[in-house]
Amino acid sequence: MLASQPRTTTANLPPVVARRVEAISGSGKNGGIALKSSQLHGLSKNMKCKPIRAVISGGDDKKVVDEAEEKKRQLSSLRRGDLDVRTVITIRKNIKEKITEKVEDQWESLVTSLGRGIMVQLISEEIDPVTGSGKIEESYVRGWLQRPENHPNIIEYAANLTVPRDFGVPGAILITNFLDKEFHLVQIVVHGFKDGHLFFPADTWIHSRKDNPESRIIFRNQVYLPSETPAGIKDLRREDLLSTRGNGKGERKLHERVYDYDVYNDLGNPDKGEDLARPIVGGKKRPYPRRCRTGRPPMEKDPLSERRIEKPDPVYVPRDEAFEELKQDTFATGRLKAVLHNLIPLIASKLANSDIPFTEFSDIDKLYSDGVPLGKKHDDNQWFVKMMNRLLSVGESLLKYDVPAIIKRDRFAWLRDNEFARQALAGVNPVGIELLKEFPILSKLDPAEYGPPESAITKEVIELELSGMRIEQTLEEKRLFILDFHDLFLPFVDQINSLPGRKTYASRTLLYYSPSGTLKPIVIELTLPPTLSSPRNKRVFTHGHHATTHWIWKLAKAHVCSNDAGAHQVVNHWLRTHACMEPYIIATNRQLSSMHPIFKLLHPHMRYTMEINALARQNLINGGGVIEACFTPGMYAMELSSAAYESTWRFDLEALPTDLIRRGMAVEDASRPGGVRLVIEDYPYAADGLLIWSAIKELVESYVNHYYSEPNSITYDVELQAWWHEIKNKGHHDKKDEPWWPKLVTKEDLSSILTTMIWIASGQHAAINFGQYPYGGYVPNRPTLMRKLIPEEGSQEYEQFLLDPECTFLTSLPTQLQATKVMAVQDTLSTHSPDEEYLNQLHELHRFSSNDQAVQKLFQEFHTKLENIETTINKRNKDVQLKNRCGAGIPPYELLRPSSGPGVTGRGIPNSVSI
């Protein structure tokens, strides 16, 4: 009888899914993500429905069919020699359901009990000689199983089928949802075949037939290359891929899962105001990677731009790319914090008729102790003070910032030159530093437009700072390094400086690597575009030896930091990880079947990326968004990002070892991790990163060798070749003709491409994202913009500077409103969600994606390597000889430690670009 047959429980779920359930019940050790979807109650035409009383009450009865009827059916099938098969469908609900949703659930339970809820069709891998396609057996689900204890958000439904003994092994299941709304399918388990339980991993939203009459195809957890696909499911493999591509027409609906390409034509909003018009990014004039097409209608004032959807309304992403419920809650909490930190200072500044600058360091300290600045408490804004008191009584902690790691141990660390330099190796943007290979330093910009290419940094200036050491010796010994933002920023400096309250230079900074093993900044060059009166508009600064030059040096360093923060945010962070990953994700879903081994390998590294990118277009990189309001490039941020893409981005140089070699930070050495030897051994980002890179590379190579053992199997894989062709020609269309694109012919080619993609999504993004608040949460350490140029001798500003240098410094930084906006965003972007899935969990995520034990062993070995790497990193952070990651007041370098808990931890490598 059905109630006594084997059933799937949460013990059968993949560990990550089980942890998600445990997070809801509070029974798990490590937590997990929450489960969401509409509640469904299924039926099967071979099962008697529960009494309506039981359906309405939630169904506590364990018996879901009449015992006599069940025995009769079993006896009949035995006489025919057929198989009794049971399909168990696992669905997850929302944690938080509204009253109306609960009523809908009960109504759907009643409707489904009458026989039309969810239909399942088993498709055999063998051909039916009559139809010429896979054999089919179908049934409606009819009834549900007992819920797992303490896991109210997991529901299991059953459908019984009788199939001929020669049916073969089912390779796919078609799911048709006859209900009025979608539901989230976790997995399907089929019992009754001789091979034991057959798993069909899903983790997908099943649309209502009212939205789309097509059934969803769910494949068994069996890996097949295209040429190996069983005949019975070959057509389904092709149909499933076609369904993800769409036809490139019309506006996408939120329930769809269509992946297609478009340019960034939705950043501006000229219909709302001319000041919000922005150029299209992507195309010959402003090259850029492509984003997901949404197909919205054009704007009225700019027919080439797409009409914007403003928050809180959602921007389309393919349905399965959207945040799950706990992620949404975490992000919403961050947004609430941002509202409290943005709206309140905005009101305060409006009351004061100005955007208030910091005038004392204590103003900044109050952000962590007293909370948001309220402005002066005049009689005419007592209502505002009363409102604040009410807010404070509701939740005072939401109005305060946590003390950032950079000042938690040493409040004055940011002032020191060695800390300024150390952060180039172990801070939030450790990918900008390069070895100075040649002298004099030359620009690659057009001298007719930007003046003489030679830097104003002379040999004499450098050697004076090196106490007489000859520059030739330092170059030979590889002791001079540079942070060079000159060519990136100079074409935009005049435009940026025309914006109100914003001033910048194009900067170069030379750093000396001392025999003691630490870096020291020695010379800073700040450049403005040439003018008729000043064709060589360059200023050179050194740290000096008296009070005035010390303060000037601090201002120069702050301008370098503002360049660095801008380049980090819109180039190294947004462009090189977020924007460049999106075409890989689109192509993977369009060209690789979910049965393809490369799809299964890449799938964990694509989670949430398209959703976070869509939110960025809506709130961060859009016209008037946070990036424009609070970072140096302002409204030219995306144009600057496009210029960087055009001049510097190359896929073949995105691999960590090749990037280090390109920047002169490493040389080839086959005996070292990643095949390179670091020029500065104590380079925390690179030293830890190479361990992670090597582990990923070894896993990928073993995985590829396992599935591509036959000669020419790479070139014969039609899906794989179409995938790589589309990435180059559609995803990165503006660079499709570049000669440096890797070929995809050998296993080595494929392994290299995949290792680069996985590194970018995991280690690279973690290293440059999760340190944003720990390092940038203290404004003087890392100002995201500067509001004043450095005063020149003889000017009135210079006289004011001499009288009050601290005031000049602080009023040059972002205003209180700008600072609190940035801090709120950085705090949110640095936060790990409770549902995060980390690199050291890949062995769990892949456990149910394939039943190949050899592959499971590869992922288990990878997990063990990452555990060892974490131990190594912990030891390094206690090694007093490693001065760039250890010392009095220095926060340990943990950004590439694989594991983390939720919150702002400054460590942990998620599998994907998920925030």
Tell me which residues are annotated as active site. Answer: 573, 578, 765, 769, 915
DSSP 8-state assignment for residue 270 = T
Nearest to 433 by CA among 734, 747, 675, 666: 666
Report how far residue 661's alpha carbon sits from residue 665's, in angstroms, rounded to the nearest whole number: 6
Q: How many CA atoms lie within 13 A of 219 on its CB side?
A: 27
Cross-strand pairs, 526: 507, 539
Gap between the terminal Cα atoms of the chain: 49
Report how far residue 398's alpha carbon sits from residue 338's, in angstroms, rounded to the nearest whole number: 9
Report how far residue 551's alpha carbon sits from residue 808's, in angstroms, rounded to the nearest whole number: 10
Are the CB atoms for 582 and 574 separated by under 8 Å? no
Report how far residue 849's alpha carbon sits from residue 871's, in angstroms, rounded to the nearest whole number: 29
Nearest to 790 by CA among 815, 816, 810, 812: 812
Are the CB atoms for 618 and 310 separated by under 8 Å? yes
Residue with tokens 């009689």: 379
Dig out the tokens for 852 from the structure.
Answer: 């190949």
Residues in the chain, total: 915
Cross-strand pairs, 86: 160, 191
Are the CB atoms for 266 and 305 separated by under 8 Å? yes
Nearest to 430 by CA among 301, 572, 560: 572
Residue with tokens 């630490």: 518
Report how far residue 127's alpha carbon sits from residue 122's, in angstroms, rounded to the nearest whole number: 13
Nearest to 627 by CA among 458, 864, 814, 433: 814
Q: How many C-beta neighbours within 10 Å does residue 279 have? A: 18
> Measured on CA atoms in the order 701, 707, 708, 710, is the torsion positive or negative?
positive
Report how far residue 242's alpha carbon sits from residue 217's, in angstroms, rounded to the nearest whole number: 12
For 737-776, the DSSP string reads T-TTSPP--SHHHHHHHHHHHHHIIIIIHHHHHTTHHHHH
Cα–Cα distances (Å) from 529 to 339, 508, 524, in that order, read 38, 14, 17
Q: At what angle do helices 325-351 and 816-829 cross, to 10 degrees?
A: 170
Report how far residue 373's alpha carbon sits from residue 135's, in angstroms, rounded to the nearest whole number: 70
Report how far residue 618's alpha carbon sits from residue 317's, in angstroms, rounded to the nearest whole number: 12
Q: What amino acid occupies position 707? A: Y
Dig out the tokens for 96 from the structure.
Answer: 């938080």
Residue with tokens 């080595």: 748
3-state DSSP assignment of residue 507? strand
Are the CB atoms for 234 and 593 separated by under 8 Å? no
Report how far residue 773's alpha carbon sits from residue 405's, in angstroms, rounded to the nearest whole number: 8
Report how far residue 147's alpha carbon sits from residue 124's, in angstroms, rounded to the nearest whole number: 30
Are the CB atoms for 266 and 308 separated by under 8 Å? yes
Report how far residue 821's alpha carbon sits from residue 628's, in angstroms, rounded to the nearest whole number: 11
Report how far residue 786's alpha carbon sits from residue 788's, in angstroms, rounded to the nearest whole number: 6
Dig out the tokens for 17 from the structure.
Answer: 């899914």
Cis-peptide into 129, omega within 30 deg = no
3-state DSSP assignment of residue 474? helix
